[in-house]
Amino acid sequence: MERENFGSRFGVLVALAGSAVGLGNLWRFPYLVGSYGGAAFIFVYIFFVFILCLPILFSEVIVGRRSHSNAYGAFKKLAPGTKWKWLGAVSVFTPIIVVSYYSVIGGWSLEYLFKACTFSFTDTSTQSQLGEMFDNFITSVWAPLFGHTLFLFLTGLVIVAGVKSGIEKFGKIMMPVLFILVVFIAIRSMTLPGAFDGLIYLFKPDFSKIDASVCSAALGQAFFSLSLGVGTMLTYASYIRKDENIAASSTYTAVSDFIFALIASCAILPAVFAFGLNPQEGPGLVFKTLPFIFSHMPLGGIVAILFFLALIVAAITSSISLYEVGVAYLVEEKHMSRKSASLVVFLIAWIMGVFCSLSFGPLSDVKILGQTIFNFFDKLSANFLMPVGGLLIVIFVGWQMKKADVIDEFTNGGSIRANNRISGFVYFMIRYICPLVVLAVFLSNLFF
């Protein structure tokens, strides 16, 4: 059977950007900015995204497009008979771990959309009542499990529809919708009385706040947000046609991912400041603090619905990219039909997700290396598998592949002038700088 490709340049961009823009932008980035000192964090983040992670993204995309294979097949094809296929094997399994806990939060977002639609956040609700509502919800058994199942099922539906008529079509409709939703909410938030302090917090850097913990949080976030090191960008890139400009698509992806993160922060932090609340609330910022704000601001009921809708759309476009890695592997390596492959991935991710979901309630005492199951999966992938995967992929491209092949793929056989000009620098970054910096930050994370 012939392999499917994305049908258009815009299709490639929305698929890559759809993977990148997700809970990481709307939920994780704003609370990290809030916790790590605002503009200073953003400043370090920009550096990591555009100087360090962009070449890593190029590397994944080069491997994917060059091989036109799934994450496992790619390494078998480009380095036959070597141990690199193990990196492929890990790259197939890690996204399934990520999607299992990602869909738990996706399920929370579905529940909160439902709550917003049924006007559960009222102007008489106090902050502690809304905090309690969230805690009661996530520690219960059935409601979060239902959300997790529904979210994963919706993701599976898009996957079953295929690369072009599922992933690409969904992204083409949903990414512009997402952009409009987030911009609308940001405008509402920034025009609240008192919101200006939030903007100052976001845009006026205090460089004295930059320390090792800020750097490592910013690097981890850059990896997570650009979906690096877990085979998703590689798999998507394997559906990119040979005449597309992969450097341009990757750069647009990083730029749009950053813009989304920034607009999401403008949607959230100015409102937090306008209400005199604490920006350092952490992971509860979106589910505890925002409902309080929505319930007390003009037009808040509608804004709440739009916000949770945006969160779900962003989460689904990312979770399909995670889900697709396993499906592509099963279809190409195990010769399964797309439907059966989707079912197998669904079942594995669903079972692992059940444990993650229950680890907030009945299984909260079960600890792996001192962490609850959810936190263990989250930390294992974001702090370990993603950076190690990213490190190995740049080593693969910089040291295992032939330089001529890398440059050939990056420049479409020398035919794209702009890419020819930067290819030497990009190759130098991939071969020397990226591995060293990722290794340094990774080790400092382990030991400090």
Q: Alpha-carbon torsion 43, 48, 51, 54, what sign?
A: negative
Nearer to ligand PFF, 42 or 407 (CB): 42
Residue 318 sits in the site that holds ligand PFF (CB under 6 A): yes
146, 107 Cβ separation under 8 angstroms: yes
Residue 230 sits in the site that holds ligand PFF (CB under 6 A): yes
Q: How many Å apart are CA 199 and CA 265, to the nearest integer? A: 9
Nearer to ligand PFF, 229 or 300 (CB): 229
CA nearest neighbour of 232 among 10, 27, 426, 61: 61
Closest distance between ligand PFF and the C-beta of residue 428, in Å?
26
Within 9-28, the residues that bind ligand PFF by CB under 6 A are: 19-20, 22-25
Nearer to ligand PFF, 21 or 133 (CB): 21
Q: How many Å apart are CA 264 and CA 269, to the nearest integer? A: 9
Closest distance between ligand PFF and the C-beta of residue 9, in Å?
21
DSSP 99-160: HHHHHHHHHHHHHHHHHHHTT-S-TT--HHHHHHHHHHHHHSSHHHHHHHHHHHHHHHHHHH
The residue with its CB nearest to ligand PFF is: 24
- Look at the chain and count its residues: 448
* Residue in 224, 292, 308, 323 binding ligand PFF, rule: CB under 6 A: 224
Residue 265 sits in the site that holds ligand PFF (CB under 6 A): no
Nearer to ligand PFF, 322 or 401 (CB): 322
202, 42 Cβ separation under 8 angstroms: yes
373, 421 Cβ separation under 8 angstroms: no
* Residue in 103, 216, 232, 342 binding ligand PFF, rule: CB under 6 A: 232
Closest distance between ligand PFF and the C-beta of residue 229, in Å?
8
Q: How many Å apart are CA 405 and CA 392, to the nearest integer? A: 18
Write down the residue that tokens 């890139």 correspond to.
Answer: 237
Residue 70 sits in the site that holds ligand PFF (CB under 6 A): no
Nearer to ligand PFF, 39 or 97 (CB): 97
Q: Which residues pair with 371 in a beta bridge?
A: 368
Within 123-152, the residues that bind ligand PFF by CB under 6 A are: none
Closest distance between ligand PFF and the C-beta of residue 191, in Å?
27
CA nearest neighbour of 65 among 321, 251, 236, 318: 236
Nearer to ligand PFF, 60 or 332 (CB): 60
Residue 225 sits in the site that holds ligand PFF (CB under 6 A): yes
Interaction mask 85-124, ligand PFF, x per CB under 6 A = ----------x--x--------------------------
300, 101 Cβ separation under 8 angstroms: no
Q: How many C-beta atoms surround the C-beta of residue 226 within 10 A? A: 29
CA nearest neighbour of 96 among 293, 270, 390, 327: 327
CA nearest neighbour of 310 among 161, 162, 112, 147: 112
* Residue in 35, 227, 238, 342 binding ligand PFF, rule: CB under 6 A: 227
Closest distance between ligand PFF and the C-beta of residue 29, in Å?
8
Closest distance between ligand PFF and the C-beta of residue 99, in Å?
8
Closest distance between ligand PFF and the C-beta of residue 159, in Å?
14
Residues near ligand PFF (CB under 6 A): 19-20, 22-25, 95, 98, 224-225, 227, 230, 232, 318, 321-322
